[in-house]
Structure 1
């Protein structure tokens, strides 16, 4: 069965540009063409009303001296591959879709056009490399039968399109060219061309593929020979062989493997139910071999029954487990086993001797401890995982396997453990140093810091004030917003004002001065940080100059009179006019009016001086008044004692002099800066009591040191160093990610799957997991590893779950998830941490991948050459759906993303047994796979599941199947095989004239053109889907 995985279209040829106007049609190698050396393109124009024409010669094969390897995008097979399937054809692909026909010196002959290149595939003994050939390497073909028919080269080049071009456009070639151009514009990578070799390859044979010129002019040009008299369309070889030495544009080598491909190997696989004996074998328990605890200390009695079925990690779904014990009370083996297993506890409880007691181990006893004082013993009358494991030989033996594996590989495991513990050792050094410093800090805090005044402690803790939050800002920011200067908390200031310091002793008022009182005074505002700066005597300042301009202060009445001088002047003039009219004393009132006008002018000048004085001490007011000052054409600057007249300057009555303009600009800049108001800080006293509480809490050694340690060392989430304020050494355990089934397998494959020899070759079948065996084995591994770590002085409490990975999970398809890598690693573990197992839980119920699910899960077994040859084969399970009416269930080949997530399950784990057996575990029970129990996502559905083996979809490949289909019903070109020809062994090439003998549909496609041949020889990836019921024995009828 095969499926469509892509939308490919093949076309016989492709051309762009002026080559599509070549006049002479391709004679397809018959020799009827007459054009010499190069193709011609007629070009006609109308010049001055007269028609003119001329033939232009185009570049052809005779002008080509090499091919840029960047043009080549792929070869099949790859260079130097050693196991290429001989049923496929070799080919080479070029990026430009018209490259294979770009220099062909002919126009298409219908749907046929020969490429200017040819791919020649030769065995190592069929050619000889020419020496000293320039500009191209060259070969001489020693066997003339290796050339395909020269008149069929057009059959082996085609254009490949991944673009979804509507089929309606393909009925008109011009429309197709237009749609092709649109596809190229959107994505040029969707279209390229391919050149194939028609040679039938032989198995286990070395080949070299040569890219050579297909036309004689190209052959001669590659050898630097004259081409001027050579027919343009003459091929470089005839049906009798090459015309001579062949130049080589490109070459690569490969070797074929066995005459097998994916489809032939997958067809060999036969679904079969597994023999019930697979997964279980007899174990003689009649003489266990250990002495009893009771005199006369004979060997332990045998089990009843004496022959038990020892199961493996996998077993047949129809395997039947041995019933044991039967019954427990009468089984003397378990009674004596309990006594001997508990003997160390019994003896230690009745003696003061420090000598150890050697007895059979109680596997998992350290992990089952609920507290450090617990003593775990074996109680055969109680059912829990510890007793289930240790009282039954069928589970003690797997635990013993784990013990043996740790003992045999302890050097390797300890090396990896010490590599992991290197960080633990570093962490413990840091922890011990932290504990020491914390204890020193505790004593310093109790004996010194807690006795200091609040302000003094804040000064000592000044380096951390910027990192301690007050409410809501830091303590340092709160101090900055207060009237207390930050420097008073510095070490330098504290040393300066220490009570017995030299500075304080020299102060006349130093008596009673203390640091805390000084800080409190600054904070309350009763003390100021320092005196206001005083201008040195004799230096001019704006206040003095303003006083000189404004004069002494004026009385209030004069200020009022100055402010309203215009009003009273008008009133005075009106009164003088009226009195003069009434009295006739014009001279008197005229003098009074003149005196009033003089007073008005004086007061105006006085007001201007006061305003100037005020503005001089107010930069913003002065800046605002500058535009109102008229131009000063005669303004000059001179020294106060300068007597010589200043030099003349060129001025105009309406502009400032040069010095005036400079002075005005400078004054504007100064006033702009001086007008910036100094912000007024609103200060808030510091709450020293609250700040003291915050700081003492932050520097508390029991808090500060653990928090700092947490920043340096990553502790597990369940460890809190702040409660109960203790720091303790790290006791982390190593984590081995090795799939531990491999160590079991290395001892014997029979331990993993007893009676594995009963699995027939080329078999596909279903097994089921054995959770009890797996958990017993993993407990044995971890139990012995804890003892080994303790013996080697590794920091451990012997309760770590060092091994939790039984199956191999590397290289599996990961589900779409947002989990981190660490979370995925944890999710793929096979068992939960053993120290977290509920003491009342039963053995076989601790699956980490499927918590809460205790049922054995389905495992797909494949035995054959398929996965050895194709290790990257895609394997998955897919939900069966109802087939056509009256037909068996099928699978849906066109799934949406949502359906794909529900209906497809990829393996969760895998394993293998050399040389040819592979196992793939799925999140499905046997009943769910069969269809006798519904799957969680499909309630009520009982159609079961298919298990699918699919070839990896990749780039297109071309060839034929190895063997033909025996059933001719529904025959298609996809089923074409080399055996469908009359004499397949005698075939050297595929030719248009030799057709398959079977009656394939559309038989006229064969040899019609290169696109049809590409369609016929295209091989789709193979897939086989097998329903679980085909690999399981039928359920008995009820």
Structure 2
């Protein structure tokens, strides 16, 4: 859990040379000594120390030079870049801004509002400084905007109507209060200390985005009004410069506006516009004012049902009449009902029961007319003439496809089907589901056909499977089934590695038996073909075994499978392994020779041979002759042993000549020394571009050989060892292997594995998956797939479009700005869902969709897409699949009876749709009496303290529903259980400033964090509201006034900052 965000406000911020201005800000008051005040621009005195050094005596001379530097001020600014502004509140063209809040503009650069102010901070220890900009907010009839007559291409000109000046402008002496710096993190040091300034500088250098500067307008806005905000100069020099007038004789600190104090006043009304935007206020206020309007309510039985007339249903039942029924009207419920609400009992008497029985006969008539054994039928039912052979169309028996019933009143029918069809209230509800399907049949079918695309492709595979199976079965019966074991083994040899028998593959079983693997190979089949000359000759010899004549190409596998101890005239065995020739060289002999060579290579002489060649390659790479001493040293480092070093030194001393070419270096050594080290067989050794040779003798030809290194010999030994290991692994003569005990069963397994109906079913079934039991499962192809389409959107929305009274009966009578708690009406929801699924089943059949009409196409009533819970069960559909319904209507929900629904009606969630709504456990402050919230932000993920909505719904225009997995009784609590609060919390992050709006009069404020607009009324104790905030009119207690008199812009920002608001109401206030 992240920490709570903390902010810090600064009254002003300056960087750079402007920090050196010495003339203090008079805060709009007339100057005491005007002649001592700067005109047009602020200035600073700069003194430079010039130093020179005498050439004659080197003496140092210092001479100060004083200058007055004039700084850029408001009179030098002709426009502002739009990039300097990062945000406006409200945004441009917003139409529902809170009338009790202040508009403002933000700048990216933290010092921007005070950068060109021509003064230093003054008053209250330097904690007040006026910005050089002013934000005005005006209604459309309070101003005009025109082009600058002197410079049409310059800044536009704002002209305020003189009669509106005092209403739209705040006192010019208070402009210091409406600009501040906002840090998005807390500051640890105290304002005004050196450590504070250092911390601010360090924070901004580390993260330039950690703060912004802000300019507010304290205008009191009116609801449902259009306004336009203007950013204009706050100093007269800036105003005149923007209007293309000369400000050179104007005091730099002169403000650009004043309120009129009398008829003779003639203060300016024209201002150049740096930036502007427009917006409109809404009818309602901010989050706090709207939240405080919400009141908890307990709803009565009126909101559980609406009266429904059942006396004229048609189909011949109108004759019963209202006078003959105990219940001529019944209460039709909705998806929600008051907690504990019980529907009217029905039937109440014999006439009501007759009504139900007659309804059952009407619903059963179609089935009864098909029964040839029926002797007494209510036919004609509602006609006085014979119907002949015309079909009779009767009302639906809802749910008959899913429950597999044919008529009502039959023993064994599920209770829910009887209740659904014979209770007029539930039949009407199911009819609503049928109406939804009829109205949206095209879009539902379009979605269904998109889903059936995969089903059609799968069924096409199954049809192709059936064709392939028939063809392959014919081939199998003709070509495979008649084969003997011998031919079967030969023909099926390629598949033996993939066919299992007795827990291992056929290939492995043959390999472990007396039957040679080669006996079933393609080469063997070719060798024993009956048409070959040698095979014909052998067959004519008439070999016999056990009295039967044997042909060589027949029963070969069986003959290999005869055990050695079994008597038989004709046995086949594999050829014995070959014996190595007498003169063959054994691998061991070669390995010993190589090992000896490796050992020889490590003698002093062999080390010297390679060391000298390597040293020559290194030292002569630049084709320069190395001195003998260096050559000896290099070789000594390579050979290390004293014997080798002595031998190498003697060899080096015998070098006679060097010769260089572009590709190699030739070094000549005396013949006897060369022969001593390198032997007599070669006249030279070559390695890495170095040729070391000796002079040739008489009649001797040059024999140059490469110098084989020790690494090469060792590598050769490794390769030889690997080869020897492979040779040693070759199989030798082993003991006799066992036979395959039951060769007939062995072959029968192969025949079975080759059957087309088995192989093709497995192959096709592995490519088709259907969704079942919350996962994709492979099918067993036994017939066409009847997978049904699923519509996962919440269907309460369709019911709401018919009438929101079907969600909450008489919902228009729910009081405005109210909170209440209801619970789901499971029987109503299930009846509606049953009607949806029944009518969809009929529609699918009519459209020739592949269906058995038993699919649960609609199972989701509520909207759960915004459910943030991690518990998967709370995201499930609302009802079980209809074929699995076993209880009565209202007992087949996947959601337990623990669900309650918080109903909120009012403007709060319309204006603040991102409001966080949750339930929070209560705890006792005073046992049995006073409760408060339990848990902290660290417990947000603990359902014992916090619960979040699992369902959401909206009823236009202003009713919001939030469902919680919380039993109503637990939420209400009791004498020992404090119960639960329901909380509405403003989402943090939105920065706003303003004052509360309250009715009537207010008492002097003691807490500056809870000021209202009424605390600034011109006449304290009245209900008047000031049009533009004047800090001097605050109605405060003496203690609060002391703090108020010394405040700065940062203090005021903290008092006016609108903290996120949270409203908590206990469930007992909303449950009877």
- Normalised by the shorter chain, which TM-score bucket? 0.7 to 0.9
Q: Deviations over 1:517-571 (max 9, x none)?
A: 89999x9974999x99xxxxxxxxxx99x9xxxxxxxxxxxxxxxxxxxxxxxxx
Given the alignment, which residue of 817, 833, 841 partners 1:762?
817
d(CA) in 1 for partners of 2:777 and 2:946?
A: 48
Does the residue aligned with 2:770 lie in a helix, a strand or coil?
Answer: coil
Name the structure 2 match of 1:37. Answer: 41
Residue 661 (1) aligns with residue 686 (2) = yes
Name the structure 2 match of 1:199. Answer: 219
d(CA) in 2 for partners of 1:720 and 1:996?
A: 69
Cα distance change of structure 1 residues 108 and 887 upon mapping to structure 2, 3 Å threshold: farther
Name the structure 2 match of 1:989. Answer: 1028
Contact 1:280 1:309 (8 Å CA) reproduced: yes
TM-score by length of structure 1 reads 0.73
Cα distance change of structure 1 residues 483 and 909 upon mapping to structure 2, 3 Å threshold: same
Structure 2: gaps (5+ residues): 52-59, 260-265, 375-387, 541-550, 562-571, 614-650, 652-663, 688-703
Does the residue aligned with 2:726 lie in a helix, a strand or coil?
Answer: coil
* CA deviation after TM superposition for structure 1 residue 859, in Å: 2.7
Does the residue aligned with 1:948 lie in a helix, a strand or coil?
Answer: strand
Name the structure 1 match of 2:881. Answer: 833
d(CA) in 1 for partners of 2:135 and 2:101?
A: 15
* CA deviation after TM superposition for structure 1 residue 755, in Å: 3.0
Residue 280 (1) aligns with residue 305 (2) = yes
Name the structure 2 match of 1:28. Answer: 27
Contact 1:135 1:223 (8 Å CA) reproduced: no
TM-score by length of structure 2 reads 0.71
Does the residue aligned with 2:462 lie in a helix, a strand or coil?
Answer: helix
Cα distance change of structure 1 residues 505 and 809 upon mapping to structure 2, 3 Å threshold: same
Does the residue aligned with 2:306 lie in a helix, a strand or coil?
Answer: strand
Q: Deviations over 1:720-757 (max 9, x none)?
A: 99999644322121222333233333333333333334
Contact 1:616 1:622 (8 Å CA) reproduced: no
Residue 368 (1) aligns with residue 403 (2) = yes
Does the residue aligned with 2:278 lie in a helix, a strand or coil?
Answer: strand
Q: Deviations over 1:135-170 (max 9, x none)?
A: 99622111163554444332111122332444xx32
Counterpart mapping for 1:849-864 below 5 A:
849-850=895-896, 853=897, 857-864=899-906
Contact 1:972 1:1000 (8 Å CA) reproduced: no
Aligned Cα RMSD in Å? 5.5
Q: Deviations over 1:983-1035 (max 9, x none)?
A: 587744323333247889456437821112212211123332222333344xx
Residue 428 (1) aligns with residue 459 (2) = yes
Counterpart mapping for 1:1004-1019 below 5 A:
1004-1005=1043-1044, 1008-1019=1047-1058
* CA deviation after TM superposition for structure 1 residue 694, in Å: 10
d(CA) in 1 for partners of 2:533 and 2:14?
A: 100
Residue 246 (1) aligns with residue 272 (2) = yes
d(CA) in 2 for partners of 1:94 and 1:451?
A: 94
Name the structure 2 match of 1:591. Answer: none
Name the structure 2 match of 1:7. Answer: 6
Residue 869 (1) aligns with residue 900 (2) = no
* CA deviation after TM superposition for structure 1 residue 196, in Å: 1.7
Given the alignment, which residue of 777, 784, 788 partners 2:843?
788
Name the structure 2 match of 1:174. Answer: 194
Contact 1:65 1:136 (8 Å CA) reproduced: no
Residue 340 (1) aligns with residue 362 (2) = yes
Contact 2:1017 2:1024 (8 Å CA) reproduced: no
Cα distance change of structure 1 residues 108 and 919 upon mapping to structure 2, 3 Å threshold: same
Q: Deviations over 1:157-193 (max 9, x none)?
A: 1122332444xx3266323334445655776544333
* Deviating more after overlay: 961-970 vs 394-403: 961-970
Residue 732 (1) aligns with residue 778 (2) = no
* CA deviation after TM superposition for structure 1 residue 433, in Å: 2.4
d(CA) in 2 for partners of 1:13 and 1:508?
A: 117
d(CA) in 2 for partners of 1:283 and 1:648?
A: 117
Name the structure 2 match of 1:570. Answer: none
d(CA) in 1 for partners of 2:1037 and 2:61?
A: 64
Counterpart mapping for 1:430-829 below 5 A:
430-441=461-472, 444=475, 447-448=478-479, 499=529, 526=575, 621-622=596-597, 625=600, 628=605, 650-653=667-670, 659-662=684-687, 665=706, 667-668=708-709, 674-675=716-717, 676-677=719-720, 678=723, 679-680=725-726, 682=729, 704-709=759-764, 711-717=766-772, 726-810=781-865, 812-817=866-871, 819=872, 825=875, 827=876, 829=877
d(CA) in 2 for partners of 1:472 and 1:766?
A: 65
Cα distance change of structure 1 residues 171 and 979 upon mapping to structure 2, 3 Å threshold: closer
d(CA) in 2 for partners of 1:455 and 1:46?
A: 118
* CA deviation after TM superposition for structure 1 residue 832, in Å: 1.7
d(CA) in 1 for partners of 2:272 and 2:520?
A: 94
Residue 142 (1) aligns with residue 159 (2) = yes
Contact 1:24 1:107 (8 Å CA) reproduced: yes
Given the alignment, which residue of 942, 948, 969 partners 2:977?
942
Structure 1: gaps (5+ residues): 533-542, 547-613, 636-646, 933-939, 1034-1038
Contact 1:342 1:378 (8 Å CA) reproduced: no
Contact 2:816 2:906 (8 Å CA) reproduced: yes
Contact 1:152 1:992 (8 Å CA) reproduced: yes
Residue 387 (1) aligns with residue 386 (2) = no
Q: Deviations over 1:827-866 (max 9, x none)?
A: 2x2212221112xx2221122122xx3x7x5333333333
* Deviating more after overlay: 698-707 vs 763-772: 698-707
Name the structure 2 match of 1:113. Answer: 129
Contact 2:160 2:270 (8 Å CA) reproduced: no
Contact 1:912 1:919 (8 Å CA) reproduced: yes
d(CA) in 2 for partners of 1:726 and 1:325?
A: 49
Contact 1:964 1:975 (8 Å CA) reproduced: no
* CA deviation after TM superposition for structure 1 residue 948, in Å: 2.5
Cα distance change of structure 1 residues 275 and 650 upon mapping to structure 2, 3 Å threshold: closer
Cα distance change of structure 1 residues 180 and 526 upon mapping to structure 2, 3 Å threshold: farther
Does the residue aligned with 1:843 lie in a helix, a strand or coil?
Answer: coil
Q: Deviations over 1:330-351 (max 9, x none)?
A: 8222333333333344333326
Residue 267 (1) aligns with residue 263 (2) = no
Contact 1:162 1:191 (8 Å CA) reproduced: yes
d(CA) in 1 for partners of 2:246 and 2:507?
A: 93
d(CA) in 2 for partners of 1:435 and 1:281?
A: 58
Name the structure 2 match of 1:313. Answer: 335
Residue 322 (1) aligns with residue 344 (2) = yes
d(CA) in 2 for partners of 1:665 and 1:23?
A: 93
Contact 1:807 1:909 (8 Å CA) reproduced: yes
Cα distance change of structure 1 residues 758 and 127 upon mapping to structure 2, 3 Å threshold: closer
Counterpart mapping for 1:939-978 below 5 A:
941-964=976-999, 972-978=1007-1013
Q: Deviations over 1:253-299 (max 9, x none)?
A: 3222225333333333333322332222323334443348xxx9999
Cα distance change of structure 1 residues 187 and 844 upon mapping to structure 2, 3 Å threshold: farther
Does the residue aligned with 1:871 lie in a helix, a strand or coil?
Answer: coil
* CA deviation after TM superposition for structure 1 residue 209, in Å: 3.3
